[in-house]
């Protein structure tokens, strides 16, 4: 994947610069062979294994990356997740960048899994938003998927979401929805962000297929779900966290989207240890 190659290349270049790993070059003789394992220091859901493999390939095509687990797999404390074999200098040059990727991405996958566990028993989907680290969106969205969530829209280019500023520019909900329908046709799902029950009534009259209830309380969501009566899909977002996500699920939301999945996930602790 070209995007993965570019992201890994940038990450390696900021760590290695023009001179490479000067410490390893100074203390480890060229040609020294070795092996190492990467160990999960806490239980987690894995993500980022492809990034680990790409790091090894770009550092040294002869450096072998042996995955011992798969993305989306839950692993316990102490699990060996990958083995590296080859030039010792290459292993150490790749170490930090590999761990940075899998720590961050496994953190996202793990947090997504916790959100899913929090709403278990409800017919609701947990989704990511466009709140992602610049340049990392495809990997972070994949990490959400590895944790059992949905990527939702990847960007402004692949899904339509009419927000308050669009409505302000177009004049009304009805006018905005009609312009979108004329421009993109009936096959494109039209979603409109709403802040109040009154705005939802306008969306229902417009014939849009989805409503995003933004920054509403669970009670307000419940009232809007009753008003919609199944005529459109209800998504909620804004202020969602592990403490309240079940309340929103039980209020009747069909999709719960939250930037916390990608912006607030704590990294998972991994360690690389030389084995020979």
- CB-CB contact of 73 with 14 (8 Å): no
**Catalytic-residue membership of 193:** yes
User: What does the CA dihedral 255, 259, 114, 72 come to, rounded to 10 degrees?
Assistant: 90
Residues 15, 60, 195, 214: which is the catalytic one?
Answer: 214
Looking up tokens 């960007």 gives: 155
User: Residues 83, 114, 130, 131: which is the catalytic one?
Assistant: 131
Angle at 274 between CA 62 and CA 45, to 5 degrees: 85
Q: Which of 114, 154, 163, 181 is catalytic?
A: 163
Is there a catalytic annotation at residue 2? no
Q: Can 131 be counted among the known catalytic residues? A: yes
Q: Which of 140, 193, 202, 235 is catalytic?
A: 193
Q: Where are the alpha helices (DSSP H) in the chain?
A: 2-16, 22-27, 49-59, 88-118, 137-146, 164-170, 173-184, 197-206, 218-228, 245-250, 260-263
Residue 33 designated active-site: no
Q: How far is Cα 41 from Cα 82, in angstroms, rounded to an integer?
A: 13
42, 60, 83, 96: the active-site residue:
96
Residues annotated as catalytic (active site), given as ranges: 96, 131, 163, 193, 214
């Amino acid at each position: 994947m070209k995007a993965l190659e570019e992201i890994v290349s940038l990450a390696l270049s900021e760590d290695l610069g023009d001179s490479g790993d000067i410490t390893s070059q100074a203390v480890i003789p060229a040609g020294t062979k070795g092996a190492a394992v990467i160990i999960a220091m806490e239980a987690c859901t894995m993500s980022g294994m492809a990034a680990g493999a790409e790091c090894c390939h770009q550092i040294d095509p002869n450096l072998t990356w042996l995955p011992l687990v798969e993305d989306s797999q839950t692993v316990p404390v102490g699990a060996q997740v990958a083995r590296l074999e080859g030039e010792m200098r290459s292993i150490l040059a790749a170490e930090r960048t590999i761990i940075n990727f899998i720590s961050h991405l496994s953190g996202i996958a793990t947090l997504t899994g916790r959100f899913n566990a929090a709403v278990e028993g409800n017919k609701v989907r947990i989704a990511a938003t466009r709140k992602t680290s610049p340049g990392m969106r495809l990997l972070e969205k994949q990490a959400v998927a590895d944790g059992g969530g949905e990527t939702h829209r990847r960007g402004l280019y692949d899904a339509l979401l009419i927000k308050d500023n669009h409505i302000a520019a177009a004049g009304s909900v009805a006018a905005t929805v009609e312009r979108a329908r004329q421009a993109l046709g009936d096959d494109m799902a039209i979603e409109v962000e709403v802040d109040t029950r009154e705005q939802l009534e306008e969306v229902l009259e417009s014939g849009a297929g989805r409503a995003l209830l933004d920054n509403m309380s669970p009670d307000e969501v419940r009232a809007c779900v009753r008003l919609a009566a199944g005529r459109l899909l209800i998504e909620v977002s804004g202020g969602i966290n592990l403490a309240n996500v079940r309340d929103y699920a039980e209020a009747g939301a069909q999709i719960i989207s939250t930037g916390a999945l990608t912006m607030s996930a704590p990294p998972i602790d991994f360690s690389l240890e030389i084995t020979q």
